[in-house]
């Protein structure tokens, strides 16, 4: 079971990381559009739509990845102090009461939404020959399915935590730098940093 959960974590991670490259394309597109507008006095009427499509796709497809890393915004001021079994109980209730109905509704509504868009080969109304947006709307149910799959994994983890008394392991990824951990890795102590600060200050004063 644990191997299956970690495999789904891996799928969510790979998917999120793959679609994260859209931010690079979006950056170049915005930069070029600003340059074109102010330096070349030319504008592309489809650029704004393309930006929305790229950002929307990135936002939607990163949902499962963020959930797998427990990166969604949450008010955990008290939660982090609770025993792990109590944390799992709260999470399990919230997943069942709010998460599952909401994401299932997203998948179903998104499927119908995309189907209607494909039926009329919907295009953007910004220009007369706007960009096709029916492929973009297909992202809605696909992203919903990824989030739902990852959500089921998180529900199983809650049940495992209730049984074992601790959270099971999950797929590792990049994390914020822990200063204390970094000091241990490079064998640097606070005293060394203080001495270096004093040396820099003395050096500046001597140069004056």
Same structural domain, 166 and 208: no
Confidence (pLDDT) at 77: 77
Same structural domain, 85 and 150: yes
Confidence (pLDDT) at 126: 75
Confidence (pLDDT) at 30: 92
SS3 label, residue 168 = coil
Q: Which residues pair with 69 in a beta bridge?
A: none
Same structural domain, 152 and 186: no
Confidence (pLDDT) at 18: 96
Same structural domain, 168 and 189: no
**Residue 87 · residue 161 · CB < 8 Å:** yes
DSSP alpha helix (H) spans, the chain: 2-19, 22-38, 47-61, 63-68, 84-94, 100-119, 134-164, 179-185, 190-207
Backbone angles phi, psi at 172, to 5 degrees: -85, 150
Question: What is the rounded distance in angstroms from the CA atom of residue 150 to the CA atom of residue 4?
Answer: 11
SS3 label, residue 132 = strand
Same structural domain, 115 and 22: yes
Same structural domain, 72 and 38: yes
Same structural domain, 34 and 101: yes
Structure tokens at 110: 């998104």
Burial 67-76 (b: 16+ CB within 10 A, else e): bbbeeeeeee
Confidence (pLDDT) at 147: 97
Question: What is the rounded distance in angstroms from the CA atom of residue 90 to the CA atom of residue 52?
Answer: 36
Question: What is the rounded distance in angstroms from the CA atom of residue 127 to the CA atom of residue 45?
Answer: 7
Q: pLDDT tens, position by position, for the chain (208 residues)? A: 888 999 999 999 999 999 999 999 999 999 999 999 888 888 888 888 899 999 999 999 999 999 999 888 877 778 888 999 999 999 999 999 999 999 999 999 999 999 999 999 999 887 767 899 999 999 999 999 999 999 999 999 999 999 999 999 886 655 555 556 656 766 767 777 777 667 667 666 666 6
How many domains does the chain fold into?
A: 2
Confidence (pLDDT) at 182: 59
**Residue 149 · residue 71 · CB < 8 Å:** no
Q: pTM for this structure?
A: 0.78
Find the domain containing 116 and state its range.
Answer: 2-175
Same structural domain, 136 and 61: yes
């Amino acid at each position: 079971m644990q191997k299956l959960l970690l495999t789904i974590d891996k799928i969510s991670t790979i998917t999120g990381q793959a679609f994260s490259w859209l931010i690079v394309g979006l950056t170049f597109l915005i930069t070029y559009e600003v340059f074109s507008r102010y330096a070349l006095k030319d504008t592309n009427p489809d650029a704004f739509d393309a930006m929305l499509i790229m950002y929307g796709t990135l936002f939607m497809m990163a949902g499962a990845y963020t959930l797998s890393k427990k990166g969604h915004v949450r008010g955990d001021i008290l939660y982090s102090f609770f025993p792990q079994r109590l944390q799992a109980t709260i999470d399990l209730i919230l997943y069942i009461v709010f998460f599952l109905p909401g994401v299932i509704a997203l998948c179903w509504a998104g499927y119908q939404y995309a189907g209607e868009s494909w039926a009329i080969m919907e295009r953007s109304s910004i220009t007369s020959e706007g960009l096709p947006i029916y492929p973009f709307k297909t992202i809605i149910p696909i992203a919903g399915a990824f989030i739902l799959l990852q959500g089921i994994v998180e529900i199983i983890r809650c049940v495992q935590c209730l049984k074992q008394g601790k959270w099971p392991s999950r797929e590792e990824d990049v994390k914020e730098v822990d200063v204390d951990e970094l000091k241990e890795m490079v064998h640097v102590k606070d005293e060394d940093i203080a001495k270096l600060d004093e040396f820099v200050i003395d050096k500046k004063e001597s140069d004056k």
